Structure 1
């Protein structure tokens, strides 16, 4: 693609692959034979995991190519497919950049986006726990170089794949603010929407690279209307009760409320839950509490699964890659005992219920919008503990 060609010209490392779209599965097999399996089919106009297929052996190429082409055509109106060598155990690291019309470009540090399913991000954090200052500086410089190579202006993201040996490769550039931008806001103190508007209006960047400082650690969980117990199938229906968490370091960005209809025709993302802490350990602890307090009734959500991730040994230790979810599902999730080892989570849930009782005296027990049996807040809390 044009992006890969520009990155090569600018000296930004790229994953071995094709510079032009491949025409059919026969051509794709020839490229794969040269690169070596596994390979990744990617939509030229893609994003969000759509139009992407991993191919492990030649016999799988025809069906995978058809599926990727069809999905890309349906999602983007552009069925062109190119090929990259598939990295078997990478981490997905991206850098937020800001660029004005006057030639100034800065990066705001990285985001760790390796917790994903079917190439769709689910949990993000900033900064990454695997980057030291030297690698952060090297990757940040590459991100700035990438933005300058294409004359980019405004807010954007340069995404990389990082292998187990510390080598990184350009993945793609997103010319927008992404879903996960709040974690960068939390650790930099910047309002990225405000900065984006200022840049679009032609103003100069109000700070330099030397002014950017990362403070603490932030984690974001995407809350989807999906059923983790049923292969993450979309959950549709009316939201009958909703009570978001609060407290120190907690932020919730959402656009739903009790009475909202969750349709099968739109993306199932309900909200973004963000937790900030002075370090990663505190951010994880705050996210656990917030997930326990988060109450949504009427549809299934990814809240229980996000909570399991927050307790998983590999996540807590930072020893994970983009295959974490598949491996976790195969190996089994965190045990109920580990989720409530010392009883503190139960106490937090109880405190949340008492808070709700205090603030919903007139409405308690909570009655779903429309017809239906009243739902006790105690029952809602019990469901969270199961």
Structure 2
């Protein structure tokens, strides 16, 4: 490859790359450059194939505009103490991050509303916190709820964070304020449980297989994994090369919420992953994570969401379902097919049975919705009316 590159001007290489980015066919590029550069057709084809492989840019061409902020810069000391306090009590890091951002909103409210009593940034500062301030925050959330700026379930989440914060302050003997969320402000978020029909899934998979995307093998492997195992996107991003055993048709999933679990995968999925590994081996990847982005870096949860959105829009012209919907579909199908309840619960990574029982309730509702419109008694009542 280096020998070929040395015989070509950089402007011509850039032109070839530009034409590839415009999705011009290899045949058309070969015709355009015929006789223009000192390469025969075979060498030119080899060059184009190399340029088709996504490569990580050189360090000199890829720089962050701004270094990411760390938690010490994002959050005041009291919130960092809150994080440490509840991480020792086995709270998941993703859950804690949500609480920390909500708590920062509470402290911002205190700083703006009770200027003379501030600051509210350290653990010691919290000694000036009073029950009146807590109720003022509650009234502030109610006002936003009444003006439809917030939903009831969101207000409940904010107050749950506040309750945890006050509980910590009480345990640490900073301030003794007992708090119970008012009954009128206890709302539950609407729990989604989308069910994707097999016909729609087939259309999506066919559109990936028939596409000319350079990452279609990776996209296909990711979507098949979620569809076949019902795994979470975070678990897909955590998969390392050592977690995959194609000879045993087994894969190890991990996330803080569920810990480790090993699951069997199908022959078809093994074939797709194996094909992706062949492509991955060509790239100069400097880590052990299985799935990578266009720069060879580990794919993120946002990357997984992007895969689903892009493939959906290619297949349907719109975003019809995400990874979570496929996870729900897996659980519903597993229970509908009379698999052992505990085995389904374990494969989903559920810690509590009630999480799996929800899918039984949704399965029944889905079946009733399909059946009741054709209920003969209902039809008799309609004819008598």
- Fold shared per TM-score above 0.5: no
Q: Which has the larger radius of gyration?
A: 2
TM-score, structure 1 normalization: 0.20
TM-score, structure 2 normalization: 0.20
